[in-house]
Amino acid sequence: MKATLFLIAFTAFTAAAPQPKLQPKPAAATPKRCGGASNKQCPQSAICVGEKEIKGGVGVCLANPKPCGNFFGDVCPNKTDVCISDPRIQCPPGAMDCGGGVCLPGVWAKQFGLKTN
| Contact criterion met (CB below 8 Å) for 76 and 69 | no
More confident residue, 37 or 96: 37
22-26, 70-74, 88-92, 100-104: which range is least confident on average? 22-26
CA separation (Å) from 76 to 34, 69, 80? 22, 8, 8
What one-character-per-residue DSSP string does 99-113 give?
--EEEEPHHHHHHH-
Sign of the dihedral defined by the CA atoms of residues 26, 104, 46, 67, in that order: positive
Mind listing the pLDDT tens digit for each residue in 56-66? 999 999 999 99
Mind listing the pLDDT tens digit for each residue in 41-50? 999 999 999 9
Average pLDDT over the chain, rounded to an integer: 79
Pick from 57, 55, 49: nearest CA to 83: 49
Of the chain, the percentage scoring pLDDT greater than 70 comes to 71
| Contact criterion met (CB below 8 Å) for 42 and 48 | yes
Mind listing the pLDDT tens digit for each residue in 91-114? 778 776 677 899 999 999 999 988
Q: pLDDT at position 19, please? A: 57
Identify the three-state secondary structure at position 6. Answer: helix
Distance CA 23, CA 44 (A): 32
Is pLDDT above 80 for 72? no
